[in-house]
Structure 1
Protein backbone atom coordinates (compact mmCIF):
# COMPACT_ATOMS: atom_id res chain seq x y z
CA UNK A 1 0.00 0.00 0.00
CA UNK A 2 1.29 3.42 -0.96
CA UNK A 3 1.72 5.93 1.84
CA UNK A 4 1.08 9.64 1.53
CA UNK A 5 3.53 11.77 -0.40
CA UNK A 6 5.46 11.48 -3.64
CA UNK A 7 6.50 8.14 -5.11
CA UNK A 8 9.05 7.72 -7.87
CA UNK A 9 7.87 6.21 -11.14
CA UNK A 10 10.53 3.93 -12.66
CA UNK A 11 12.31 5.18 -15.77
CA UNK A 12 10.47 4.40 -18.99
CA UNK A 13 7.13 3.91 -17.23
CA UNK A 14 3.83 5.78 -17.22
CA UNK A 15 1.78 6.23 -14.06
CA UNK A 16 -1.95 6.85 -14.38
CA UNK A 17 -4.70 7.48 -11.87
CA UNK A 18 -7.58 5.23 -12.96
CA UNK A 19 -11.15 6.06 -11.90
CA UNK A 20 -13.74 3.27 -12.01
CA UNK A 21 -17.39 4.22 -12.53
CA UNK A 22 -20.67 2.30 -12.62
CA UNK A 23 -24.43 2.56 -12.89
CA UNK A 24 -26.94 0.05 -11.49
CA UNK A 25 -30.00 1.12 -13.48
CA UNK A 26 -30.45 2.95 -16.78
CA UNK A 27 -29.49 6.59 -16.48
CA UNK A 28 -31.96 9.14 -17.87
CA UNK A 29 -30.70 10.47 -21.17
CA UNK A 30 -30.97 13.85 -22.81
CA UNK A 31 -32.27 13.00 -26.24
CA UNK A 32 -30.09 14.37 -29.03
CA UNK A 33 -30.40 13.78 -32.77
CA UNK A 34 -27.72 12.14 -34.81
CA UNK A 35 -25.81 15.02 -36.41
CA UNK A 36 -26.37 15.54 -40.14
CA UNK A 37 -24.14 13.49 -42.38
CA UNK A 38 -23.26 10.96 -39.65
CA UNK A 39 -24.52 7.37 -39.54
CA UNK A 40 -24.48 4.83 -36.70
CA UNK A 41 -23.77 1.23 -37.58
CA UNK A 42 -22.97 -2.01 -35.80
CA UNK A 43 -19.71 -3.53 -36.97
CA UNK A 44 -18.47 -7.08 -37.33
CA UNK A 45 -14.85 -6.01 -37.01
CA UNK A 46 -11.86 -7.35 -38.83
CA UNK A 47 -8.45 -7.13 -37.23
CA UNK A 48 -7.35 -4.39 -39.63
CA UNK A 49 -10.54 -2.35 -39.09
CA UNK A 50 -10.25 -2.57 -35.33
CA UNK A 51 -6.56 -1.70 -35.14
CA UNK A 52 -7.13 1.28 -37.45
CA UNK A 53 -10.07 2.77 -35.55
CA UNK A 54 -8.49 2.04 -32.15
CA UNK A 55 -5.36 3.98 -33.09
CA UNK A 56 -7.19 6.87 -34.78
CA UNK A 57 -9.58 7.31 -31.84
CA UNK A 58 -7.22 6.85 -28.93
CA UNK A 59 -3.60 5.98 -29.56
CA UNK A 60 -2.23 9.07 -31.25
CA UNK A 61 -3.75 11.63 -28.91
CA UNK A 62 -4.41 9.73 -25.66
CA UNK A 63 -1.91 6.84 -25.64
CA UNK A 64 -4.47 4.04 -25.76
CA UNK A 65 -2.31 0.92 -25.90
CA UNK A 66 -4.15 -1.92 -24.15
CA UNK A 67 -5.35 -3.60 -27.32
CA UNK A 68 -2.07 -2.90 -29.14
CA UNK A 69 -0.22 -5.17 -26.68
CA UNK A 70 -2.36 -8.14 -27.69
CA UNK A 71 -1.33 -10.72 -30.23
CA UNK A 72 -3.50 -11.09 -33.32
CA UNK A 73 -4.96 -14.32 -31.90
CA UNK A 74 -5.86 -12.68 -28.55
CA UNK A 75 -7.52 -9.73 -30.25
CA UNK A 76 -9.36 -11.87 -32.82
CA UNK A 77 -10.84 -13.90 -29.94
CA UNK A 78 -12.41 -10.71 -28.56
CA UNK A 79 -13.53 -9.43 -31.96
CA UNK A 80 -15.26 -12.73 -32.74
CA UNK A 81 -16.85 -13.19 -29.30
CA UNK A 82 -20.66 -13.00 -29.61
CA UNK A 83 -20.82 -11.35 -26.17
CA UNK A 84 -18.84 -8.29 -27.34
CA UNK A 85 -20.59 -5.71 -29.54
CA UNK A 86 -18.95 -3.03 -31.68
CA UNK A 87 -20.46 0.15 -33.11
CA UNK A 88 -19.12 3.12 -35.03
CA UNK A 89 -20.23 6.45 -36.39
CA UNK A 90 -19.41 7.11 -40.03
CA UNK A 91 -18.96 10.47 -41.72
CA UNK A 92 -18.47 10.79 -45.46
CA UNK A 93 -17.93 7.03 -45.69
CA UNK A 94 -15.16 7.00 -43.06
CA UNK A 95 -15.61 5.36 -39.64
CA UNK A 96 -14.80 7.92 -36.95
CA UNK A 97 -15.82 6.38 -33.59
CA UNK A 98 -15.41 3.27 -31.48
CA UNK A 99 -17.99 1.90 -29.07
CA UNK A 100 -17.15 -1.50 -27.61
CA UNK A 101 -19.63 -3.12 -25.20
CA UNK A 102 -18.44 -6.23 -23.36
CA UNK A 103 -21.15 -8.53 -21.97
CA UNK A 104 -18.83 -11.47 -21.20
CA UNK A 105 -19.29 -11.12 -17.42
CA UNK A 106 -22.69 -12.52 -16.47
CA UNK A 107 -25.13 -9.77 -15.43
CA UNK A 108 -22.76 -6.96 -16.36
CA UNK A 109 -21.72 -4.81 -19.30
CA UNK A 110 -18.38 -3.04 -19.51
CA UNK A 111 -18.05 0.04 -21.65
CA UNK A 112 -14.70 -1.29 -22.77
CA UNK A 113 -13.81 1.46 -25.27
CA UNK A 114 -15.58 4.66 -26.19
CA UNK A 115 -14.23 7.52 -28.26
CA UNK A 116 -14.36 9.69 -31.34
CA UNK A 117 -11.73 10.81 -33.81
CA UNK A 118 -11.11 14.57 -34.07
CA UNK A 119 -13.45 14.61 -37.11
CA UNK A 120 -16.48 14.19 -34.82
CA UNK A 121 -15.45 15.93 -31.60
CA UNK A 122 -17.70 18.88 -30.83
CA UNK A 123 -20.49 17.78 -33.21
CA UNK A 124 -22.80 16.28 -30.57
CA UNK A 125 -21.92 12.81 -31.80
CA UNK A 126 -20.43 11.74 -28.46
CA UNK A 127 -23.68 12.32 -26.59
CA UNK A 128 -25.63 10.46 -29.28
CA UNK A 129 -23.22 7.51 -29.10
CA UNK A 130 -23.35 7.42 -25.29
CA UNK A 131 -27.16 7.40 -25.39
CA UNK A 132 -26.91 4.43 -27.73
CA UNK A 133 -24.43 2.72 -25.39
CA UNK A 134 -26.72 3.14 -22.37
CA UNK A 135 -29.80 1.91 -24.25
CA UNK A 136 -27.95 -1.07 -25.75
CA UNK A 137 -26.33 -2.10 -22.46
CA UNK A 138 -29.61 -2.00 -20.53
CA UNK A 139 -31.54 -3.79 -23.28
CA UNK A 140 -29.79 -6.93 -21.95
CA UNK A 141 -30.52 -8.55 -18.55
CA UNK A 142 -27.71 -6.77 -16.69
CA UNK A 143 -27.50 -5.35 -13.17
CA UNK A 144 -24.39 -3.23 -13.67
CA UNK A 145 -22.90 -1.09 -16.44
CA UNK A 146 -19.33 0.03 -15.77
CA UNK A 147 -16.38 1.88 -17.28
CA UNK A 148 -12.98 3.20 -16.25
CA UNK A 149 -10.88 6.09 -17.44
CA UNK A 150 -7.48 7.45 -16.52
CA UNK A 151 -5.46 10.64 -16.32
CA UNK A 152 -3.74 10.15 -19.68
CA UNK A 153 -7.09 9.86 -21.49
CA UNK A 154 -9.02 12.92 -22.65
CA UNK A 155 -9.42 15.37 -19.75
CA UNK A 156 -13.10 15.60 -20.72
CA UNK A 157 -13.73 11.85 -20.33
CA UNK A 158 -14.32 11.60 -16.57
CA UNK A 159 -16.78 14.51 -16.41
CA UNK A 160 -18.56 13.19 -19.51
CA UNK A 161 -19.06 9.78 -17.90
CA UNK A 162 -20.37 11.36 -14.70
CA UNK A 163 -22.78 13.58 -16.68
CA UNK A 164 -23.90 10.41 -18.48
CA UNK A 165 -25.03 8.84 -15.20
CA UNK A 166 -22.01 6.81 -14.10
CA UNK A 167 -20.94 7.11 -10.45
CA UNK A 168 -17.26 6.89 -9.46
CA UNK A 169 -16.62 4.15 -6.90
CA UNK A 170 -12.90 3.30 -6.90
CA UNK A 171 -9.54 4.83 -7.79
CA UNK A 172 -6.30 2.96 -8.61
CA UNK A 173 -2.78 3.73 -9.79
CA UNK A 174 -1.70 1.91 -12.95
CA UNK A 175 1.96 1.71 -13.94
CA UNK A 176 2.91 0.50 -17.41
CA UNK A 177 5.72 0.69 -19.95
CA UNK A 178 5.54 3.88 -21.99
CA UNK A 179 4.41 2.54 -25.41
CA UNK A 180 6.41 5.26 -27.17
CA UNK A 181 9.61 3.90 -25.67
CA UNK A 182 8.82 0.28 -26.51
CA UNK A 183 8.13 1.22 -30.14
CA UNK A 184 4.43 0.30 -29.92
CA UNK A 185 3.53 3.94 -30.65
CA UNK A 186 5.46 6.73 -32.33
CA UNK A 187 7.29 9.23 -30.17
CA UNK A 188 4.90 11.96 -31.32
CA UNK A 189 1.89 10.14 -29.77
CA UNK A 190 0.33 11.51 -26.58
CA UNK A 191 1.75 15.02 -26.87
CA UNK A 192 0.14 15.95 -23.55
CA UNK A 193 2.27 13.37 -21.67
CA UNK A 194 6.03 14.03 -21.67
CA UNK A 195 8.40 11.17 -22.41
CA UNK A 196 10.78 10.46 -19.53
CA UNK A 197 13.16 7.66 -20.61
Structure 2
Protein backbone atom coordinates (compact mmCIF):
# COMPACT_ATOMS: atom_id res chain seq x y z
CA UNK A 1 0.00 0.00 0.00
CA UNK A 2 1.40 3.36 -0.99
CA UNK A 3 1.84 6.08 1.54
CA UNK A 4 -0.78 8.85 1.18
CA UNK A 5 0.38 12.17 -0.20
CA UNK A 6 0.23 14.94 2.42
CA UNK A 7 -0.65 18.49 1.45
CA UNK A 8 0.21 21.54 3.53
CA UNK A 9 -2.44 24.24 3.82
CA UNK A 10 -3.14 27.48 5.63
CA UNK A 11 -6.49 27.49 7.41
CA UNK A 12 -8.39 30.73 7.99
CA UNK A 13 -10.99 30.77 10.78
CA UNK A 14 -13.76 33.32 10.25
CA UNK A 15 -16.76 34.48 12.21
CA UNK A 16 -19.84 36.64 11.81
CA UNK A 17 -21.31 38.25 14.94
CA UNK A 18 -24.31 40.04 13.44
CA UNK A 19 -27.09 38.86 11.18
CA UNK A 20 -26.55 40.07 7.63
CA UNK A 21 -28.84 42.79 6.38
CA UNK A 22 -28.13 42.27 2.69
CA UNK A 23 -30.10 39.86 0.59
CA UNK A 24 -28.95 37.99 -2.47
CA UNK A 25 -31.48 37.50 -5.25
CA UNK A 26 -32.27 34.00 -6.43
CA UNK A 27 -30.52 33.28 -9.75
CA UNK A 28 -33.06 32.98 -12.54
CA UNK A 29 -30.95 30.86 -14.87
CA UNK A 30 -31.95 27.64 -13.05
CA UNK A 31 -35.00 26.09 -11.47
CA UNK A 32 -33.69 25.85 -7.90
CA UNK A 33 -34.82 23.95 -4.84
CA UNK A 34 -33.09 24.02 -1.49
CA UNK A 35 -34.18 21.12 0.68
CA UNK A 36 -33.32 20.13 4.22
CA UNK A 37 -32.15 16.51 4.22
CA UNK A 38 -33.43 15.02 7.45
CA UNK A 39 -31.67 11.74 8.25
CA UNK A 40 -29.84 11.88 4.90
CA UNK A 41 -28.94 8.46 3.57
CA UNK A 42 -25.28 7.56 3.96
CA UNK A 43 -24.72 6.77 0.24
CA UNK A 44 -26.22 10.13 -0.79
CA UNK A 45 -24.17 11.99 1.83
CA UNK A 46 -21.00 10.24 0.69
CA UNK A 47 -21.85 11.12 -2.93
CA UNK A 48 -22.28 14.83 -2.08
CA UNK A 49 -19.21 14.86 0.15
CA UNK A 50 -17.07 13.37 -2.61
CA UNK A 51 -18.50 15.48 -5.44
CA UNK A 52 -18.06 18.74 -3.54
CA UNK A 53 -15.06 17.87 -1.37
CA UNK A 54 -12.73 15.79 -3.52
CA UNK A 55 -11.31 18.73 -5.52
CA UNK A 56 -10.51 20.44 -2.18
CA UNK A 57 -9.22 17.33 -0.39
CA UNK A 58 -11.89 17.27 2.34
CA UNK A 59 -10.86 14.49 4.67
CA UNK A 60 -12.70 14.55 8.01
CA UNK A 61 -15.67 12.35 7.01
CA UNK A 62 -13.96 10.61 4.11
CA UNK A 63 -12.85 7.34 5.69
CA UNK A 64 -15.46 6.96 8.42
CA UNK A 65 -17.36 3.70 8.63
CA UNK A 66 -21.14 3.74 8.32
CA UNK A 67 -21.80 3.65 12.07
CA UNK A 68 -19.31 6.46 12.77
CA UNK A 69 -20.65 8.64 9.97
CA UNK A 70 -24.27 8.05 10.92
CA UNK A 71 -23.50 8.94 14.55
CA UNK A 72 -22.09 12.29 13.37
CA UNK A 73 -24.44 13.44 10.63
CA UNK A 74 -27.68 12.21 12.20
CA UNK A 75 -27.17 14.08 15.48
CA UNK A 76 -29.98 16.46 16.43
CA UNK A 77 -27.63 19.45 16.20
CA UNK A 78 -26.54 18.75 12.61
CA UNK A 79 -28.55 20.34 9.81
CA UNK A 80 -27.84 19.38 6.18
CA UNK A 81 -29.37 21.17 3.18
CA UNK A 82 -29.04 20.15 -0.46
CA UNK A 83 -29.28 22.56 -3.39
CA UNK A 84 -30.87 21.19 -6.55
CA UNK A 85 -30.52 22.99 -9.89
CA UNK A 86 -32.78 21.84 -12.71
CA UNK A 87 -33.39 18.63 -10.76
CA UNK A 88 -29.74 17.70 -10.15
CA UNK A 89 -27.87 17.93 -6.84
CA UNK A 90 -25.76 21.07 -7.19
CA UNK A 91 -24.26 21.39 -3.71
CA UNK A 92 -24.83 21.11 0.00
CA UNK A 93 -24.12 22.77 3.30
CA UNK A 94 -23.85 21.22 6.73
CA UNK A 95 -24.42 23.18 9.92
CA UNK A 96 -23.42 22.18 13.44
CA UNK A 97 -25.41 24.02 16.08
CA UNK A 98 -23.88 24.41 19.53
CA UNK A 99 -26.61 25.97 21.64
CA UNK A 100 -24.51 25.83 24.81
CA UNK A 101 -21.78 27.98 23.22
CA UNK A 102 -24.34 29.96 21.13
CA UNK A 103 -22.36 29.17 17.97
CA UNK A 104 -23.46 27.75 14.66
CA UNK A 105 -20.72 26.44 12.40
CA UNK A 106 -21.04 26.13 8.66
CA UNK A 107 -18.96 22.95 8.71
CA UNK A 108 -19.26 22.16 5.02
CA UNK A 109 -20.36 24.35 2.16
CA UNK A 110 -19.82 23.90 -1.53
CA UNK A 111 -21.05 23.31 -5.01
CA UNK A 112 -20.56 20.32 -7.29
CA UNK A 113 -17.87 21.30 -9.86
CA UNK A 114 -20.35 21.35 -12.78
CA UNK A 115 -22.28 24.13 -11.01
CA UNK A 116 -19.32 26.30 -10.03
CA UNK A 117 -18.80 29.55 -11.88
CA UNK A 118 -22.45 29.71 -12.89
CA UNK A 119 -23.70 32.39 -10.50
CA UNK A 120 -24.92 30.14 -7.67
CA UNK A 121 -22.23 30.46 -4.97
CA UNK A 122 -23.15 33.84 -3.48
CA UNK A 123 -26.87 32.97 -3.42
CA UNK A 124 -26.18 29.55 -1.90
CA UNK A 125 -23.80 30.92 0.75
CA UNK A 126 -26.37 33.56 1.66
CA UNK A 127 -28.94 30.78 2.18
CA UNK A 128 -26.46 28.87 4.39
CA UNK A 129 -25.80 32.01 6.45
CA UNK A 130 -29.51 32.81 6.87
CA UNK A 131 -30.19 29.20 7.88
CA UNK A 132 -27.32 29.31 10.39
CA UNK A 133 -28.79 32.44 12.01
CA UNK A 134 -32.17 30.72 12.40
CA UNK A 135 -30.79 28.90 15.46
CA UNK A 136 -30.23 32.32 17.13
CA UNK A 137 -26.50 32.00 17.80
CA UNK A 138 -24.30 34.82 19.03
CA UNK A 139 -21.96 34.06 16.16
CA UNK A 140 -21.69 31.99 13.00
CA UNK A 141 -18.32 30.49 12.15
CA UNK A 142 -16.75 28.99 9.05
CA UNK A 143 -13.26 28.09 7.97
CA UNK A 144 -11.52 27.81 4.65
CA UNK A 145 -8.04 26.84 3.57
CA UNK A 146 -5.73 27.31 0.64
CA UNK A 147 -6.94 24.03 -0.91
CA UNK A 148 -10.49 25.40 -1.24
CA UNK A 149 -11.63 27.52 -4.15
CA UNK A 150 -9.27 30.46 -4.55
CA UNK A 151 -12.35 32.71 -4.36
CA UNK A 152 -13.75 31.23 -1.13
CA UNK A 153 -11.99 33.46 1.41
CA UNK A 154 -12.79 36.60 -0.53
CA UNK A 155 -16.46 35.62 -0.90
CA UNK A 156 -16.79 34.79 2.80
CA UNK A 157 -15.39 38.19 3.69
CA UNK A 158 -17.67 39.99 1.21
CA UNK A 159 -20.62 38.22 2.82
CA UNK A 160 -19.66 39.58 6.26
CA UNK A 161 -17.30 37.06 7.83
CA UNK A 162 -14.18 38.42 9.54
CA UNK A 163 -10.93 36.42 9.92
CA UNK A 164 -10.26 35.63 13.59
CA UNK A 165 -7.40 33.16 13.38
CA UNK A 166 -5.04 31.19 11.21
CA UNK A 167 -3.41 27.79 11.46
CA UNK A 168 -1.20 25.55 9.39
CA UNK A 169 -2.46 22.05 8.68
CA UNK A 170 -1.51 18.91 6.84
CA UNK A 171 -4.23 17.11 4.92
CA UNK A 172 -4.17 13.76 3.17
CA UNK A 173 -4.58 14.27 -0.58
CA UNK A 174 -7.66 12.79 -2.19
CA UNK A 175 -5.87 11.02 -5.05
> TM above 0.5, one fold?
yes
Give CA-to-partner distance per residue, 1:50-84, whole Å, 9 cap, x none.
1001111121x221122103222221012211111
Moved over 4 A (4+): none
Which residue of 2 is the match for residue 21 of structure 1?
14
Give CA-to-partner distance per residue, 1:13-42, whole Å, 9 cap, x none.
221100000011112323211433221111
Q: Secondary structure at the match of 1:169?
A: strand
Which residue of 2 is the match for residue 182 of structure 1?
none
Which residue of 1 is the match for residue 110 of structure 2?
115
Which residue of 1 is the match for residue 138 of structure 2?
143
Structure 2: 5+ residue stretches without partners: none
CA separation in 1, counterparts of 2:34 and 2:78?
17
Mapped contact 1:84–1:104 kept (Cα < 8 A) = no
Q: TM-score under structure 1 normalisation? A: 0.79
Q: Secondary structure at the match of 2:48?
A: helix
Q: Does 1:158 align with 2:173?
A: no
Q: CA deviation at 1:91?
A: 2.3
1:104 to 71, 79, 98: 98
CA separation in 2, counterparts of 1:12 and 1:57?
20
Q: TM-score under structure 2 normalisation? A: 0.88
Change (3 A) 1:92 1:33: closer
What does 1:27-176 correspond to in 2, within 5 Å? Answer: 27-35=20-28, 36-44=30-38, 45-59=40-54, 61-104=55-98, 106=100, 107-176=102-171
CA separation in 1, counterparts of 2:99 and 2:169?
22
Q: Choose between structure 1 and 2: higher strand proportion.
A: 2
CA separation in 1, counterparts of 2:168 and 2:161?
20
Change (3 A) 1:19 1:105: farther
Mapped contact 2:92–2:109 kept (Cα < 8 A) = yes
